[in-house]
Structure 1
């Protein structure tokens, strides 16, 4: 009995430490590969607890291996946008300018009832009030309401407003996203001028640069 308690305590500490090292995401926010690893870790830990004939190392080594694998995948995701899309997919715009993208809804295996339920949980009841609804890679639905119906509405105050747009990533970890530049009808010369005006001589120094929802250039350096 004492041996079972010791084995259980060791595996419990190892699993908690492993999950802690994996990051601070909550279960509902895990990417698919992270959720798979979490399930596998729980199964691997339970086997040596139930069967004393299984050496403790047969549970510890696979768990550590999965931790290393998860860490490597995370690093590759940070370094390669293509790899990130392959492993985690990419966000999907479900609603744009108050109109449901039916094709994307079907691609994501969502029903209309699923969608309106998520909208109600977010406090939105009319689809036409939504500028953009984006299904994130974690499965969470992000909603950008139309500017004229946000709290303390500009519409009520008769203040003219410009519709917010989806932020566009231009540089991530020093790498320029040419496709996103084309999306906003800009070129590399425009991006270089933005960097120069902010005293940045090399995009490799930039951790993140985006064109935000107000069409303003925002950046953060690596250092």
Structure 2
């Protein structure tokens, strides 16, 4: 139960590789993947975790191996959080930047398509913010997948 089938450092290396590759894949997938999950997005996330479990554990089913992997993942998450807090460049790389998707009552459909976000999602955000399209000053797609809406004054 506590005996490892591979050296401890292999768990650390596997966890680091999987963490970094998944981080890149999520960043490539776009902001919506991080923000509001559709049922399909949720299924992908669940399958991703299952698909990399053997890559993390090297088929080792020991408690010690699982704890090493979990500790490595938490450690890497803390390292990236601290690095993001201290460096604007690291923050932009790991978390992304807001994108202007509408201004002065006009929606930028080409930007929404590039970000893989439907116009309906932005229209929903406008309704939630009690903002008619004609009253829109700015609409941003934030790095977490949510929208920020600013109304025109008056």
Which 4+ residue blocks in structure 1 deviate beyond 2 angstroms?
121-124
Tell me the alpha carbon deviations over residues 150-195 of structure 1, each in whole angstroms, 9 at most, x when there is no partner. xxxxxxxxxxxxxxxxxxxxxxxxxxxxxxxxxxxxxxxxxxxxxx
Q: Which has the higher strand share?
A: 1
Are positions 1:60 and 2:92 aligned together?
no
**TM-score, scaled to structure 1:** 0.42
Are positions 1:136 and 2:130 aligned together?
no
Greater relative CO, 1 or 2 (CA 8 Å, sep 6+): 2
2:87 to 80, 83, 92: 80
Q: 5+ unaligned residues in a row in structure 2: which ranges?
A: 1-33, 37-44
Tell me the alpha carbon deviations over residues 32-76 of structure 1, each in whole angstroms, 9 at most, x when there is no partner. xxxx8xx85xx86xxx9xxxx821112111111011101111111
| Higher Cα radius of gyration | 1
- Number of aligned positions between the proteins: 108
Q: 5+ unaligned residues in a row in structure 1: which ranges?
A: 1-26, 30-35, 149-223
Aligned to 1:98: 105
RMSD: 3.1
Q: Does the CA contact (< 8 Å) of 2:138 and 2:151 recur in 1?
A: yes
Aligned to 1:127: 133
Task: Determine helix, strand or coil for the equivalent of 1:94.
Answer: strand
